[in-house]
Amino acid sequence: MRLLCSFVILSSAFAFAIAPATQRAVNSIQTAVNSVELLPELRKGPIPSAKMQTAKNLLRDLDSALSRGKRALESVPPADSGDENVVELSKTLEEFAAFKADLEKAIDGAAAQSSANDAQFRAFREETKEYAGVVSAFQNGAHGAMSDVKAAVAKLEKLDALCKSKYPGIQDDPKLSFALNISPGTWCDVAARRQTIFDGAIKNAITNSLGGLVAAVGEATAKLAPNHGLINAEGQPYTLLLDRAGGKAALAAKLEPAMKAVGQTMPPDFFKPLDEKLDAFAAEIDRLAPTWTFEANKNDDKTESAAKKAFATTFKGRSAIKTGMLYADATIAKNGLGIPTERYRTGALLAKGSGKWCEYREFTSHETYSGGGNYAAPHFTFGAMRLQKCP
């Protein structure tokens, strides 16, 4: 609570007997004490750094009021020294003097504490430089290979021991932390919670690993129709659909060491969400497969024959059972000078796979311009795959 010291001159049956000099002194003292707003919460400290300037301002105001008040008291004639107003104001000045003495001690103590904190901060900074990287990493959660994270935990254990032995109770200080770019309280807290942070990060990584895969399968399912049934046959989730047991076993082998590190075991139904998404993905493929047609109704026997050979070489164990071209003519690409650089033409093929559906792939024949109106032998690139009904 803030207290505003104000005093009203006491009336007395003998007030008329006060000498003019006394009346002037009383008025002066009253003005001096009324100009000071006492802040009891600062009197004996501790004084927060944010309040230090306020405390110094109050000390200045007290000093000024006391100086003025003492001069005024000295001007009071001895005959009026017992006047009740003079006595009351004299007590107020004594209280101001006591408050000032306490406030000076509090300010000096805060200054000493600040100096001690500064020295402690600087010592901490010099002694803990080697831990800066690992603390920074753990503040945002543990990341990286399991061996690296475990090594970081071991390093933080040493920091924790140092915090507790040489810097017990050290706290962050906004001013010093900014000036010295160090937050020892935060660092020591991170070191103390290293195992909790590690466990939480590992558990999140396990959850996110499966969750990310489940989300990817769901996204692939949703995009299947808008993408005209085209999927990446060499990537997940299609490869996982083809060898679900092998894919889950590989993921389990990757996750089980992490689970063991945090005292977990893989529950029997761990992959249930993934199986459900893969079942939905397979069902969407089966729903759409009969709806797709083979649009490549143009022909170029030479290009199609070369495409079949390239397909068989690129995709071992599979051969095209139907081919066609999507465009009647080839496209010629030219550079900025109008000189041809390449001639290309796109077609498609169907290949019988191991499943119930045929694999549809688009291919492009690329022929590099070799000059004189001639082009090099073609090389082929193949696009994404689509599963559809066989002819």
Give which of 360, 340, 343 is closest to 351, Cα–Cα: 360
CB 176 within 8 A of CB 121: yes
Q: pLDDT by residue (tens digit) across 49-100?
A: 778 889 889 889 999 989 998 998 889 888 888 888 889 989 999 999 999 8
Say how far apart CA 172 and CA 177 lie, in whole Å: 6
Query: What does the block give as tokens for 332?
Result: 């010629």
From its phi and psi, is residue 199 left (phi > 0), alpha (psi between -120 and 50) or beta?
A: alpha
As a whole number, mean pLDDT of residues 22-32 equals 89
CA 278 to chain centre: 32
User: Model confidence at 2, in pLDDT bands (50, 70, 90)?
Assistant: very low
366 has a pLDDT exceeding 90:
yes
Q: pLDDT by residue (tens digit) across 137-180?
A: 887 777 767 778 888 899 999 999 999 999 898 888 777 666 66
9 has a pLDDT exceeding 60:
no
Task: Tell me how far CA of residue 222 lies from CA of 212, 215, 250, 384, in angstroms.
Answer: 15, 11, 26, 17
Residue 227, amino acid: N
Average pLDDT for the chain: 87
pLDDT for 1: 36
pLDDT for 180: 65
15 has a pLDDT exceeding 60:
no
Strands 320-325 and 340-352: antiparallel
pLDDT for 179: 67
From its phi and psi, is residue 330 left (phi > 0), alpha (psi between -120 and 50) or beta?
A: beta
14 has a pLDDT exceeding 70:
no
CB 156 within 8 A of CB 194: yes
As a whole number, mean pLDDT of residues 286-304 equals 95
CB 390 within 8 A of CB 352: yes
> Cβ–Cβ contacts within 10 Å for residue 105, how many?
13
